[in-house]
Amino acid sequence: MAAPEFEIPKFKEHLEVPKIQEGSMAHIKSFISPQPTQEFLGYPWELGEDWKERTLFKMGDLLGKYRSLRVFMDACVHCGACTDKCHYYLGSADPKNMPVARQELMRKVYRRYFTLPGKIAPWLVGAEDLTKETLADWYSYYHQCSECRRCSVYCPYGIDTAEVTMAGREILNYVGMGQKYSNEILGKVQKIGNNLGLPGPALEDTLAGLEEDIEADTGVPVKMPLDVKGAEILLVTPSADFFSEPHVESLIGYAKVFHAAGVSWTLSSHASEAGNFGLFNGNYETMRKVAMRIRDAALELGVKRIIVGECGHAWRVAYSFWNTLTGLGFDGKDPFSIELQQQLDHRYPQPMHICEYTWDLIQNNAIKLDPSANDDKVITYHDSCNVARGSRMGDEAGGQFTIPRNIIQAVANNFHDMAAETIGEGTFCCGGGGGLLTDDLIEVRVKGAYPRMNALNNVVQEEKVNFMATICAICKAQFTKVLPYYGFDRSMVGGVHQLVSAAIKLD
Amino acid sequence: MTSLTVFYIGLFYVATLILVAGLAYRIYEYSRTPAPLKIPTTPAPTTNAGVAYRMAREVVLFESLFKSNKWIWLFGWLFHVGLALVLFRHVRYFQEPLWFVVEFVQPFGKYASFAMVAGLAGLWARRFLVDRVRYISTPSDHLILALLIAIGLSGMMMSFVAHTDIVSLKAFMLGLMTFDFQPLPTDTVLLVHLTLVALLMIIFPISKLLHAPGIFFSPTRNQADNPREHRHIAPWAAALDRDNG
């Protein structure tokens, strides 16, 4: 790790809200998406002469299509409740990283061109002309938001900055200012089938290698089937699970769980990606196109159930949006959704999270576990933001908090939660979500991780915690990268099914 | 009929028209704009009854604000509850005979004005004292607080210091409602109070006061968490199913 060119916040027993430092993060600029990437997605790659008209046109278009944006532009009263809630503000002190100020970047343009007071007396109501500097500010600060929704928990009107960030990025794309990282991934997933650009044959080789490793390790021939028609379960998991550390340990865990349960399951080379970066850009049609690959694979393979691996944003899209986008769920009344839904097994939720699946098996004593296998670990659990505030597990509200913790406590003996205000619905994002998991944003990522790292440090000091489990591919990759900046070992982070993998007893 | 009375008759008709028509238009706009995706902030209720209960807690108790910041909650809640009681007390100037509850609420509504103004003062103080809130405050944020405090103080002047001719005022108000116009008392405090109230009514549909109808349309608060069980789809999005299959 090279010495960082920025200051890393210091640990405190209680997180302190910093005094504002105007412009402290204004230099941040993620790499701009190049021509071929933009062309593939149907966007321009530089500002044209009509950039102003295009910006305002797209803004009006989105205001007419999204009630969230429409209401959120009007409803804010500047009360300040959200100002100390964003991890990027807490870690950077840049006031434009306060949720309200991030929204205000768009709201001041909204007021100027779409409201009467802003047209008549802009100086009075905080309305401002749209300039190229405005767009530069949008580009910088809408890529310092991980769309984690923490602000929306605390807003008295439920204003969700993620919705504003998504709209901001969609407008930026529309005028030719796309982000390289997210847009290249959106190209790869649509051309090859996953975000890492891993082609089918390479995937097949990887899975065969993993099967050998597991058998060498356990003596049991646990399989990782690919493209098996007629399998009962289709597993859709983030492609990082196929060869990133520590992600792959959880993939091995899922395979062992399926093996122990004795079900037929398969992965798909066509839908070898659970993550959906369409969410980050806020473009409904892109998000739908990416999600359609899973529908197509499910129909092609004829599976009865769809289970999603450990991935935060993926689970939000799967749980909350798949039924809407692709008909993957229940209660469809139209031929499009009925075609898929009549194939699915109605005894189970569709889609189902791998944690819901494993927890059901544990409750039914259908798998054997030896929690002492994890006795070398003192474990804490990081609630991933999009699972916590954008989805659910199980039948009851809040199942997304209890089910993963129940699993951990069934497969391990030493568990301690971090401070209450930093977990559950108030969980701090890892700092790398929402399309920020790129090296050109490392300063944002390290500073944004600060509130989580601070809470982790407190349980490390007090409870001797040495492992932080989580169920998100981005969290795992982000923590692996930023833990060393805070003096921790990168192998401290891993998946819940990594713990399951160690504890499960196979026959 | 003096020209002053005529002016105020006109002012109140215009203000009422703008308030009612403006709010109706906003509500129409919000309700017409589709919410294409299920985005309740979870954990969220899984049923519509649960959503109604969540919304009631937000509107009556300011639950999310309570979680967020106890000072803003205290000042904000004092102001809104005070305002609600004061407004309810004012119903007496618009009906004859009075409902029992309106009579009952009179003393509470009278002293609630202190809570209302204290809450507003607290909220205003934060705009100067807390650097983060100072940063986000616009001139209109200050002016709306000034307007509300001036309405409160001028009303309290008439309740507690210099009474206006309340019988004539009530006759004027009832006259507005029955088109049987009566003269308006002319003391300055009353005229200031009425002018500011009319101004508040006029700016309501074009200002941040839209948070009042807005919260009911906020998808993060008014949606049930049941996306796996029910297919939710907006008309413009359903067209994609038909076009692309």
Buried b (16+ CB within 10 A) or exposed e, A83-114: bbbbbbbbbbbbbbbbbbbbbbbbbbbbbbbb
Q: How confident is the model at residue B154 (pLDDT cuts 50, 70, 90)?
A: very high
Determine the pLDDT at residue A2.
54
Residue B244, pLDDT above cutoff 70: no
pLDDT in tens, A96-140: 999 999 999 999 999 999 999 999 999 999 999 999 999 999 999
DSSP string, A126-178: T-----HHHHHHHHHHTTS-----HHHHH-TT---HHHHHHHHHHHHHHHT--
Contact assignment for A158 to B34 by CB distance below 8 Å: no
Q: How confident is the model at residue A283 (pLDDT cuts 50, 70, 90)?
A: very high
Determine the pLDDT at residue A4.
64
A420 — phi, psi (to 5°)? -55, -35
- Tell the burial category of A397 from Cβ atoms under 10 Å away from its Cβ (0-12, 13-18, 19+): middle
CA distance A311 to A316: 9
Q: How confident is the model at residue A291 (pLDDT cuts 50, 70, 90)?
A: very high
> What rounded mean pLDDT belongs to chain A?
96
Q: Is B57 strand, coil or helix?
A: helix
Q: How confident is the model at residue B240 (pLDDT cuts 50, 70, 90)?
A: confident
Mutation target for A interface from B23, B29, B32, B41: give the one with most A CBs within 10 A. Answer: B41
Residues 6+ away with beta carbon under 8 Å from A253: A495, A496, A497, A498, A499, A500, A501, A504
Report yes or no: B34 at the A interface, CB cutoff 8 Å.
Answer: yes
Minimal Cβ distance to B42: which of A85, A100, A390: A390
Question: How far B203 CA sits from the closest chain A CA (Å)?
Answer: 9
Minimal Cβ distance to B43: which of A81, A159, A398: A398
pLDDT mean over A441-456: 98
Report in angstroms the alpha-carbon separations of A141 from A170, B57, B132. 14, 33, 17
pLDDT mean over A231-260: 97
Minimal Cβ distance to A67: which of B30, B206, B242: B30
Contact assignment for A323 to B123 by CB distance below 8 Å: no
Total residues found in chain A within this entry: 507
Question: Which of chain A's residues have a Cβ under 8 Å away from the Cβ of B138?
Answer: 78, 124-126
Mutation target for B interface from A152, A319, A324: give the one with most B CBs within 10 A. Answer: A324
CA distance A109 to A118: 9
Report in angstroms the alpha-carbon separations of A453 from A312, A342, A485, B30, B65. 19, 46, 10, 40, 26
Residues 6+ away with beta carbon under 8 Å from A199: A192, A193
Residue B238, pLDDT above cutoff 90: no
Instruction: Kindly state the percentage of chain B with pLDDT values over 90.
Output: 95
Encoded amino acid at A196, one letter: L
pLDDT in tens, B9-58: 999 999 999 999 999 999 999 999 999 999 999 999 999 999 999 999 99
Q: In what order do the strands lie in the sheet with A493-495?
A: A379-381, A467-470, A493-495
Question: In the numeric block, which tokens belong to residue A437?
Answer: 């998991």
Determine the pLDDT at residue A190.
94
Question: How far B140 CA sits from the closest chain A CA (Å)?
Answer: 5
- What ipTM was assigned to the predicted interfaces of this complex? 0.96
With CA atoms as reference, the chain A residue closest to B203 would be A117
Q: Is A431 strand, coil or helix?
A: coil
CA distance A312 to A477: 12
CA distance A69 to A141: 17
Q: How confident is the model at residue B243 (pLDDT cuts 50, 70, 90)?
A: low
Residue A358, pLDDT above cutoff 70: yes
Residue A230, pLDDT above cutoff 70: yes
Q: How confident is the model at residue A197 (pLDDT cuts 50, 70, 90)?
A: confident
pLDDT mean over B183-208: 97
